Amino acid sequence: MAKEGVEDWRRRKQDIEANNRKVKVYGQDHTFVETKWKNLRVGDLVKVHKDEYFPADLLLLSSIYEDGICYVETMNLDGETNLKLKRSLEATNHLRDEESFQKFTAVIKCEDPNERLYSFVGTLQYEGKQYPLSPQQILLRDSKLKNTDYVYGVVVFTGHDTKVMQNATDPPSKRSKIERKMDKIVYLLFSTLILISSTGSVFFGIETKRDIDGGKIRRWYLQPDDATVFYDPRRAPLAAFLHFLTGLMLYGYLIPISLYISIEIVKVLQSVFINHDRDMYYEDTDKPARARTSNLNEELGQVDTILSDKTGTLTCNSMEFVKCSVAGVAYGRVMTEVERTLAKRKGERTFEVDDSQTDAPGLNGNIVESGKSVKGFNFRDERIMNGQWVNESHSDVIQKFFRVLAICHTAIPDVNEETGEISYEAESPDEAAFVIAAREVGFQFFGSSQTSISLHELDPVSGQKVNRVYELLHVLEFTSSRKRMSVMVRNPENQLLLLCKGADSVMFERLSKHGRQFEAETRRHINRYAEAGLRTLVIAYRELGEDEYRIWEKEFLKAKTSVTADREALVASAAEKIERDLILLGATAVEDKLQKGVPECIDKLAQAGIKVWVLTGDKMETAINIGYACSLLRQEMKQIVITLDSPDMEALEKQGDKENITKVSLESVTKQIREGISQVNSAKESKVTFGLVIDGKSLDFALDKKLEKMFLDLAIDCASVICCRSSPKQKALVTRLVKGTGKTTLAIGDGANDVGMLQEADIGVGISGVEGMQAVMSSDYAIAQFRFLERLLLVHGHWCYRRISMMVKLP
């Protein structure tokens, strides 16, 4: 009890600390004063400063930037460390100081509290007008303000109504299977003890009462006429009851109390071994393994299914620019982890790739010396580096390619005042990798404002660095439906340019006839990069005419300032009209580095018969690529993809009929699951393995009571399962579903978005780290990296299970 009490108090301290954090609230004296989080109420105006967590779900009113943008880190919501761009309504951008709030009055009408992190429906009534609200204006509790000095917001949801709390689940009291089995044994033994004592006391009472029968003494030698209360025939029922109590004490050795004590001692000692295991100590962060609870040790040797987060758990969430294809020529000689794995399987030597004799990456070539190490940049090719690109036959295309990388983004340069070095904060690690790659090749992005972007460029004629300022006109932002991003700029030569990057599925169809010169070679390179587990984007551009631009800008601004519910659709439609007739430049390939030893660890776990499921908040494409990189998915596997991301569903969602959308979505998911089961059943004799991939929208319906059993049957028959765009609550529900099979489940994560999953599983393992403290505090075990899971399960778990199972005589 004392041990459990200490563990509960640690969690309680964390709650108290969170509730008593300070935030500035607009008071009656028209100034911002500090108050505790727990005192916030809906409608309060708050001011949040840089690197502070949002105390509640807020509607962003304005920020230090004129256009009302701010950058938010959502590590504790979806596990991603990359920054998200949020933008306030233009109508509230002027609220920039304490005086402007004195006469500010508005009404927010919005949806009821729910757990959906990526959606928000509401309106703002202000100055007689209604403005539609979207997730773009909502700052969720437990996310952090980054790269923005301060923002102003109004509280929409507080406490348990916030989306992160709606995704929380009540922490269960975990007990191991052996403990539960021991309980049953003790219940049986205790029942036997009661039966024996009861039977003996009944017969004892009968015989005692007959000692004096009709005034005659049957057993005179006992002197029943002068007996104590324990043997008094005149009070036989009392004597029988006292004999029952005596029987309980005499036969009490039937219950093995010492077994509980022995097992507790073994568990505590096993926890000490885990905490002091040198092979589980991680020197880089000075993190030893920590057994935060000792009553689950024997479960480690019985794990059947591991449910793991991806970002920060399997991967480092650190993208590196490794390869690119420009003008139909592949550049980049570094081998990815997937390429090394493929080479080892084929029995070939592993070394860096030399593409000088080929038009695409291969698995043979010369060893290339690595240069300086730059975070986000692992590109090696002497044909481009150190200004050598000017000697290439298509140097003009290379110049345009890296200009697009240096300009087409929403990153912010951060200059170190002491060293003068420039680092970048971006919405995604991909974007940061692109900007770093452009800088290393010779196109350094060093400054930006609301209307301009400044570069240091290498002049191919003089060979000197020159400053070039591009006028920033419009940014057409990336969305999951558009799958591309564009910026419009006016260069120093007064040319209007549209610079675009996006997924190959949407970019190739927007190329002009004369802009497809390198299409065949680029497609071939993209396929090679995908096989190497890399994330790819296509780079293109076009020149705009002044008249064409002016006509389009009027339509775009009209759509952007629209107050109707279909504003986003109007903006997307306007962007669609200008993002056409593009000229292909090439494609990029970046690698999300895996945690050290992850592929080997997953391979050994698979050999031990342990299944691995990945539950991630990432996009489907990203999750699939990482699945290949960490050996969770293999080239010979057949993929079963369940998704609601289709043109038909998008058209249906634009109509806004929620009942019809729900009905059609349920039918679609049901059909896809049945087709998947049919594929698996038909391939059982051929021994073909399957990998199941399902997105968050589909998962909502798959977890419905009507479909969950069918979905589970399909998932169990697949060798690997990846759930994309999963909310924290969905992660917990999937874990509960798998746990319901009776198999031992283990969940592993590194952020607050994984807490529900960790608590729901039989065993929870938290990855130690600054941002992962909430996961660690809610877990049963804390380790430094995913690769240590192998030793925790296959060494300590096996040792502990064998010895405890012998003690309780279990098979």
Active-site amino acid positions: 309
Give the count of alpha carbons within 13 A of 640, CB side only. 28
616 is in an annotated binding site: yes
CA distances from 616 to 104, 134, 754 (A): 41, 23, 9
548 is in an annotated binding site: no
592 is in an annotated binding site: no
Q: What share of the chain is helix, strand, coil (3-state, %, to 5)?
A: 40, 25, 35
* Cα 504 from chain centroid (whole Å): 25
Residue with tokens 């497609």: 523
Would you give the DSSP letter of residue 301? G
431 is in an annotated binding site: yes
Element (H, E) at 538: strand 535-544
Of 387, 395, 551, nearest to 457 (Cα)?
387
Structure tokens at 432: 């940061």
- Cβ-based neighbours of 649, under 8 Å, separated by 6 or more: 661, 664, 665, 668
753 is in an annotated binding site: yes
What is the DSSP pairing of strand 465-476 with strand 484-490? antiparallel
147 is in an annotated binding site: no
Distance CA 508, CA 769 (A): 41
Residue with tokens 């002009």: 512
725 is in an annotated binding site: yes
Dihedral sign for Cα atoms in the order 736, 737, 741, 743? negative
DSSP assignment string, 415-479: E-TTT--EEEE-SSHHHHHHHHHHHHHTEEEEEE-SSEEEEEEE-TTT-SEEEEEEEEEEEE---
Contact present, 405 and 435 (Cβ < 8 Å): yes
588 is in an annotated binding site: no
- β-partners of residue 320 are 591
Of 503, 509, 499, 511, nearest to 482 (Cα)?
503
Distance CA 805, CA 811 (A): 7
Distance CA 775, CA 639 (A): 31
567 is in an annotated binding site: no
Which residue type sits at 225? D
Distance CA 504, CA 592 (A): 19
Distance CA 291, CA 303 (A): 16
501 is in an annotated binding site: yes
Of 168, 241, 239, 280, nearest to 784 (Cα)?
280
Residue with tokens 């499921």: 613
Distance CA 752, CA 665 (A): 30
Residue 91 burial class via C-beta count within 10 angstroms: exposed 0-12, middle 13-18, buried 19 and up: middle
183 is in an annotated binding site: no
What is the DSSP pairing of strand 744-749 with strand 303-308? parallel
State the binding site for Mg(2+): 309, 311, 750, 754
State the binding site: 309-311, 431, 478, 501, 535, 616-618, 725, 731, 750, 753-754
State the binding site for ATP: 309-311, 431, 478, 501, 535, 616-618, 725, 731, 753-754
